Structure 1
Amino acid sequence: MVDIQNPYSTFGRYSADLCLFLLVARHRQLSRAASEAGISQPRVSQRIRFLEDSLGRELFLRERRGVELTPAGYELLNTLLDPMTRAVEAFERFQDKPRKREVVVASDIAFASFLLLPDFGSMSNAFKDLNLSVLSLQMPDSRNAPEADLVIRMEPDHETEQHEVCLFRERVSAVCSPTYKAAHTAMERPEDLLGQSLIELAAKPDMPWYTWSEWFRDQGCVHHRPRNVIAFNSYDHVIRAVRADLGIALGWEGLIDIDAPNSGLELAIPGHLESNRGYYLKVQRSRANEDTVAVYRWIADRYMLSQT
């Protein structure tokens, strides 16, 4: 069977020299061909000699004021001129074709899973001229996501800068599945949860969001510790475990809607806690351009409105 790569391999070895051949044939002078190619005249002469030696044919007659094509040179010129010209023009069009501009949104995993990804189709349709991408990390910042144009993450309350906004504050409730609630009817107060199966997001101690320990502390249960805690490294897994009747988790009301039809969730006990933290959206420094600001405004409008 013939190796179809051989013709491409052969042409690849001579392609640069064939381009020089066409330039010399057009100008009939080595110096002008060298000037257009951006190399020295001796280099052009050397490459043409190499091409002639490789083909075993003389392509040019060297004269005092320039060069003239030999019959073999005319034959090669007629063979190459049309396809090579079309290839050059096609490549120029390809190079000049405008590329889509990119906007990268870095988000914590929970926000990306529950809000950004379900709405990604709508966001992409709103910005058809952009390449949008979502980078999900547990705690995105400029160090672990240097390519990000926008960052969404939980932070302590602070005075916002230009192109920065708090999308919604951290507000949590204890949630479980209807089946779990029906099997544990005695749950009414925070201390009633101490003996229950609790599910939480595994994270470093300094992460800026509620853990069960902090939640019990803020509920006044400072001298008690929960006895059975299951941890997952993804909030999506936490909620899936709750819906599978495995226990109770903290539900961030900005991320999940327990009142939605078929949410599979309900309050384990009445009430909620609100911290001095919130989800902040920010354009990274030096990334504020027309595209990133437009995406920033779309996200801000989308998720701030959803909290009203």
Structure 2
Amino acid sequence: MSDIGNSYSTFSRYSADLCLFLLVAQTGQLSRAAELAGLSQPRLSQRMKALEESLGQPLLHRERRGVSLTRAGQDLHDAIAPHLGEAASAFARLQRPARRRTVVIETDLAFAGLRFLPVFPSLCAAFPDLGISLLTRQLPDSAPGPEVDLMVRMETRQQDTEALRCLFPERVQAVCSPAFLEQHPDLARPDQLRALPLIELTAAVNAPWFTWSSWLSQLDPGGAQTRGERISFNSYDHVIQSAERGLGIALGWRGLTDSRIEAGTLVPALPVELQSPRGYMVRMLSRAPSSEVREVFDWICAQFGE
């Protein structure tokens, strides 16, 4: 055992220089090996000379364009390269943590802020060995990037399949704060809304959801132009917060604003609700989804589906 101990003790004094020697042999240049090792070239040269002195024979031919191995250097290389190389590779594998499996979900800002984020800790707790990433956009692209596994977006409802489910249909009502409603106790008809401050989500003309223009045109076709103030935000969170603070009336999507109505921070401004052929759909994007993606898909359906 003492011999083994002495061997390891001796080897440990020169192990770093032996690794540097293999790097020099691999690159064929002291300058390049020094750069890779994070040393100055003079410092590396000193350590190679110290290694040669410890072995009592030259290991390198120092030439103008680089270095080559002497016969002793080649013998040393052949003796240690397979073992030190294997040890270095094994250490790198053990040092590198196993890559965590990840499921990437993309959805719009409204669904993320009002429905997904409140239950996100529960989703992570349900899959403790899985990384969950949430990507948000104002309007998710119908053809997202290859990194996305699941997508939740407002679109035309389709028949449910194993990879596609409707979480809830688009049902929209006008909502405001209780204080705002008290200030306008005579509200009873949709046409009356046109004279009041309307809070809206900034959106393109062909947005796949109700806007004030499309919502009012169905309830009050041929009505006069809106005369009240229009307040616009590019975040639905801000739309809802503004309505809660009494700045005006907003469109409230059932499924997104239900908790605010239950809490009493929002109330229906009118006893009317419109439903469209659209809805929040969740879909698996891969034709061969992993078991983890399927499990998260089922969790979302169970959590948000009606």
Please say whether Structure 1 and Structure 2 have the same fold, judged by a TM-score greater than 0.5: yes
Q: In the alignment, which residue of structure 2 is the partner of 1:109?
A: 109
- 1:62 maps to 71
Counterpart of 1:18 (choices 10, 22, 34) is 22
For the pair 1:244 / 2:253, whether they are aligned, the reply is no
Q: What is the CA distance between 1:47 and its match in structure 2?
A: 6.5
Residue 162 of structure 1 and its aligned partner are, at CA, apart by: 3.1
Report how far residue 88 of structure 1 moved.
Answer: 5.2
Give the alignment's TM-score, normalised by structure 1. 0.73
Q: Mind listing any 5+ residue stretches in structure 2 that lack a counterpart?
A: 1-14, 34-43, 53-57, 60-68
Q: In 2, are the aligned partners of 1:180 and 1:245 still within 8 Å (CA)?
A: yes
- Looking at structure 1, the residues matched to 210 and 284 of structure 2 have their Cα atoms a distance apart, in angstroms, of 25
2:71 corresponds to which letter in structure 1?
R
Question: Could you say which residue in structure 2 is the equivalent of 1:298?
Answer: 299
Shift of 1:287: 5.6
Contact persistence 1:165–1:282 (CA under 8 A): yes
What is the identity, as a one-letter code, of the residue corresponding to 1:125? A
Matches within 5 A, 1:45-56: 46=28, 54=45, 55-56=48-49
SS at match of 2:195: coil
The answer to whether the aligner puts 1:126 opposite 2:135 as a matched pair is: no
Within 5 A, what are the aligned runs for 1:108-187? 108-187=108-187
Task: Look up the SS of the partner of 1:118 in the other structure.
Answer: helix
Change in Cα spacing, 1:206 to 1:272, as seen in structure 2 (3 Å) is: same
| Equivalent-residue separation in structure 1 for 2:109 and 2:288 (angstroms) | 22
| Deviation of the 1:200 alpha carbon | 1.0
Greater helix proportion: 2
Measured against aligned partners, the alpha-carbon deviations of 1:238-279 in whole angstroms (never above 9, x if no partner) come to: 001101110001100110114422x41001111211111110
Q: Is the 8 A contact 1:201 1:233 kept in 2?
A: yes
1:148, distance to aligned residue in structure 2 (A): 1.1
CA deviation vs aligned residue, 1:223-252 (integer Å, no higher than 9, x gap)? 322222211111100001101110001100
Task: Measure, in 1, the Cα distance between the counterparts of 2:70 and 2:17.
Answer: 24
| Aligned-pair CA distance for 1:84 | 9.3
Q: Deviations over 1:177-228 (max 9, x none)?
A: 0111111111111111110100111100111111111111111332322222
Number of residue pairs aligned between Structure 1 and Structure 2: 258
The sequence identity of aligned pairs, in percent, is 36
Residues 159 and 165 in structure 2, CA contact (< 8 A), matched pair in contact too = no
User: 1:141·1:151 contact (CA, 8 Å) conserved in 2?
Assistant: no
- Residue 33 of structure 1: aligned partner: none
Task: Give, in angstroms, the shift of residue 118 of structure 1.
Answer: 1.1
Unaligned runs of 5+ in 1: 1-10, 22-42
Deviations 1:11-32 (A, max 9, x none): 99995643677xxxxxxxxxxx
Deviation at 1:285, TM superposition (A): 3.1
Superposition RMSD in Å? 3.4
1:249 to 1:135, Cα distance in 2 relative to 1, 3 A: same
Identify if the C-alpha distance between structure 1 residues 109 and 84 changes in structure 2 by more than 3 Å, giving closer, same or farther: same
